[in-house]
Amino acid sequence: MALFTEPSMGYFCAIRQQRLNIHFVNNYIFLKAFVVGTLFLILKFATPVSAQSLPPDTLTSKVEQKEQVASWSLTSAFHSASLYFFSGSVDQSNPSFDALFIYDRKTWGAFFYKSLDLLDHTTGVNYAMLGVHKIFLVGTKWSFVPTLGGELNQNYTPADKGSDFIFDLAISYKISEHLTISNDALFQNLIITKDYNWTNRLKLSYQQQDFNVSALLWQRSRAFNNAGYLSTGLDISYNIIKFSHTSNIFVGASNIYMLQSDASRANGFMFNLGLNLGN
């Protein structure tokens, strides 16, 4: 399964990485504000709801109740190209690497995601995301997952100019034991840059033992006077070596095809090789 090699909510056009002059004072203010805000949300979300939640790109793909107090997972993968698989656009053909760490308790969860261009540190693929999320379950079929976090552009420093806050609302419906449909509404650049973006991602996922396939449709809204686009894609993965029910080595392939765009955008395809670990 491809991580949301995203612009940066990545997950789920690519985030416009701004190659501007670096202002260390602004970086410090952003990091301080984000840390304080994240701690506040973690405390605020500590109310009894028993569920596991996942951030982008896997926000709604594996929502299930957990008996243990805490759970964690780590997914890392090498990709033959750089696709923003959460927002549905292509950066370039350089190989890339990403890693997603998730920590969940019964009442809330947190995540950290890092993406890296293996050839060029100045591209938009070099960024990180972190945040907190919570799941609201309605019956046995529906789930609602709000996520608040930050995207950190990392061409030269841990938080280059252009870093900002993001919000995602994921709604998921479990059609059957193996089939799930979900929609993510991702809002980017909310507070600091105010270069607002709104991307919707519709995802139909099928999982059968070690085989996973997802069909996706992305739509970048023109609501904030940004160039819109409509794209589609397919993500396929298979667990080739299984260590336990949560740990395995997988291979896969992913593609993004641009159906319509206000600006020139490329199509893309990549192979994936990754490792899943967890309790």
- The arithmetic mean of pLDDT across residues 16-22, rounded, is 39
β-sheet bridge partners, residue 131? 111, 149
The rounded percent of the chain whose pLDDT value lies above 90 is 61
Q: Which residue has the higher pLDDT, 190 or 6?
A: 190
**How do strand 179-188 and strand 70-79 relate by DSSP bridges?**
unpaired
Q: Is the pTM of the predicted complex or chain greater than 0.95?
A: no
pLDDT-derived band at 278 (thresholds 50, 70, 90) equals very high
Would you list the domain boundaries of the chain? Answer: 24-278
Taking phi over 0 as left and psi of -120 to 50 as alpha, with beta for the rest, 194 belongs to left
pLDDT given for residue 4 in this prediction: 44
pLDDT-derived band at 258 (thresholds 50, 70, 90) equals very high
| CATH architecture of the domain covering 24-278 | Beta Barrel (2.40)
pLDDT given for residue 223 in this prediction: 86
pLDDT given for residue 152 in this prediction: 95
- The arithmetic mean of pLDDT across residues 182-191, rounded, is 94
- Measured at the alpha carbon of residue 95, what is the angle toward residues 237 and 208, in degrees to the nearest 5? 5
Nearest-angstrom CA–CA distance, 120 and 279: 34
Statement: residue 52 has pLDDT above 50: no
Nearest to 125 by CA among 260, 249, 229, 270: 270
pLDDT digits (tens, 9 = 90+) for 207-242: 998 999 999 999 999 888 888 999 999 999 999 999
Nearest-angstrom CA–CA distance, 219 and 244: 37
Nearest-angstrom CA–CA distance, 81 and 95: 4
Nearest-angstrom CA–CA distance, 46 and 50: 11
Give Cβ neighbours of residue 208 (< 8 Å, ≥ 6 apart).
178
pLDDT digits (tens, 9 = 90+) for 156-170: 999 999 999 999 999
Evaluate whether 160 touches 66 at the Cβ level (below 8 Å).
Answer: no
